[in-house]
């Protein structure tokens, strides 16, 4: 893995750790919006890291659909992630601004999707799935 892709991975892991930490705050105090946001951000950074690792241009976009579509040339089996990406793609804006409240179900699903995709991307990068 090159130095630039490592930077993306480090950022992705920070987002992942934030989502996991926040999920441990069970009950009414769990910041569900933030769990959704950080889970989605983790995926963005990991997809960009995969592109960077392959020496492909990393687009200046936060659109997960665009990023996944670019990565599919490298990882065609990741087409199975398209519905997962569609689920969380808008969580940056949807839960970043006041007025929308994530449900426990959305937060659980966002972190579940994040875990699944993170594992596969890490393996593709030659990292442990941990």
Q: What is the pLDDT of residues 8-50, one digit of tens each?
A: 999 999 999 999 999 998 766 789 999 999 999 999 999 999 9
Residue 27 pLDDT: 66
Q: Which of 54-58, 60-64, 93-97, 124-128 has the lowest mean pLDDT?
A: 93-97
What is the residue extent of each domain of the chain?
A: 3-124
Summarised one tens digit per residue, pLDDT across range 41-91 is 999 999 999 999 999 999 999 999 999 999 999 999 999 999 999 999 989
* Reduced 3-state DSSP string for the chain: CCHHHHHHHHHHHHHHHHHHHHHCCCHHHCCHHHHHHHHHHHHHHHHHHHHHHCCCCCCCCCCHHHHHHHHCCCCHHHHHHHHHHHHHCCHHHHCCCCCCCCCHHHHHHHHHHHHHHHHHHHHHCCCCCC
pLDDT at 51: 98
To the question of domain 3-124 being in CATH 3.90.180.10, the answer is no
């Amino acid at each position: 893995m090159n130095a630039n892709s490592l930077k993306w991975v480090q950022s992705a892991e920070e987002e992942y750790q934030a989502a996991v930490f926040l999920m441990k705050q069970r009950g009414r105090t769990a910041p569900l919006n933030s769990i959704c946001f950080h889970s989605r951000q983790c995926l963005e950074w990991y997809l960009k890291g995969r592109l960077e690792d392959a020496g492909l241009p990393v687009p200046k976009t936060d659109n997960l659909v665009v990023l996944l579509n670019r990565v599919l040339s490298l990882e065609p089996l990741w087409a199975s992630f398209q519905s997962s990406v569609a689920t969380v793609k808008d969580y940056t804006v949807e839960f970043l601004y006041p007025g929308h409240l994530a449900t426990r179900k959305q937060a659980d699903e966002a972190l579940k999707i994040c875990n699944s995709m993170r594992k596969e991307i890490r393996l593709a990068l030659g990292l442990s799935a941990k």
